[in-house]
Amino acid sequence: MREIVHLQAGQCGNQIGAKFWEDISDEHGIDPTGTYYGDNNLQLEHINVYYNEASGGKYVPRTILVDLEPGTMDSVRSGPFGQIFRPDNFIFGKNTSSPQ
């Protein structure tokens, strides 16, 4: 079986990616907590292409979210499916107003 790692980069990439995960989760019967709620075995047939099955039967997106600013990550985390992502998969810079 193939596995896909989804890379989301920058503000636009993360906003589009967040919507992608909402849609693909709905298609596969996965709720915002990563729990399967579907009623069709076809939804689970290739679920491991995009998701890792974690402990407790939770499904976690196989994705890495990258941005230079933490603001976009904050909006993804506070979005409808923000809690489905692994916290370690958020990679972002520190917001600072001092020159470097």
pLDDT tens-digit readout, 59-81: 999 999 999 999 999 999 999 99
Give me the domain span that covers residue 13.
Answer: 6-92
Domain assignment of residue 71, yes or no = yes
Q: Which helix (H) or strand (E) holds 41?
A: helix 41-45
Residue 100 has pLDDT above 60, yes or no: no
Domain assignment of residue 97, yes or no = no
Phi then psi dihedrals of residue 64, to 5 deg: -125, 130
Domain assignment of residue 31, yes or no = yes
Domain assignment of residue 64, yes or no = yes
3-state secondary structure of 8: strand
Q: Give the chain's domain count.
A: 1
**94 confidence band (pLDDT: 50, 70, 90):** confident
